[in-house]
């Protein structure tokens, strides 16, 4: 039973380029979360999506960042015109339903973005 799959694991971009990070949730999970971890910091919530819907994007920067979770295929976190401050580890997590009893999130191994 595959866990949450993220790719790429490592991504290097120059300032001004675009970064696309992909996340396939665990089988049977229809809820996807994206978190960002800056160096030496904890994880910060970015966005929560269900299939074809953004439910809460209160943690997303207003510009350059977008996320989607289409009916078919993985969830995508897209960062346009990257800047050095976007360098971080981006973690995707999934859950089977919105208010699952334990509230456990299943995390992927993260995508580490480095902006030169």
Q: Which residues bind another protein (CB under 8 A)?
A: 4, 31, 33, 35, 40-45, 48, 55-56, 91, 93, 95, 98-100, 102-110
- Cα dihedral 69, 30, 50, 90, rounded to 10, equals -60
Environment class of 102 (CB within 10 Å of its CB; exposed 0-12, middle 13-18, buried 19+): exposed
CB of 61 to another protein, least distance (A): 16
CB of 26 to another protein, least distance (A): 12
| Nearest residue (CB) to another protein, 68 versus 109 | 109
Q: Is the peptide bond before 8 cis (omega within 30 degrees of 0)?
A: yes
Angle at the Cα of 68 (from 62 to 12), degrees rounded to 5? Answer: 75
| Nearest residue (CB) to another protein, 15 versus 38 | 38
| Nearest residue (CB) to another protein, 17 versus 96 | 96
Q: What is the DSSP letter of 84?
A: G
| Nearest residue (CB) to another protein, 15 versus 27 | 27
Quick one: tokens of 27? 């089988």
Q: How many CB atoms lie within 10 A of CB 37?
A: 15
């Amino acid at each position: 039973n595959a866990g949450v799959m993220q790719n790429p694991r490592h991504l290097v971009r120059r300032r001004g380029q675009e970064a696309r990070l992909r996340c396939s949730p665990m089988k049977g999970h229809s809820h996807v979360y994206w978190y960002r971890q800056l160096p030496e910091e904890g994880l910060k919530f970015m966005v929560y999506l269900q299939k074809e819907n953004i439910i809460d994007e209160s943690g997303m920067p207003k510009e350059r960042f977008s996320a989607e979770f289409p009916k078919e295929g993985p969830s995508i976190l897209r960062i346009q015109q990257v800047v050095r401050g976007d360098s971080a580890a981006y973690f995707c997590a999934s859950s089977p339903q919105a208010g699952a009893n334990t509230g456990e999130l299943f995390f992927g191994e993260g995508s580490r973005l480095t902006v030169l």
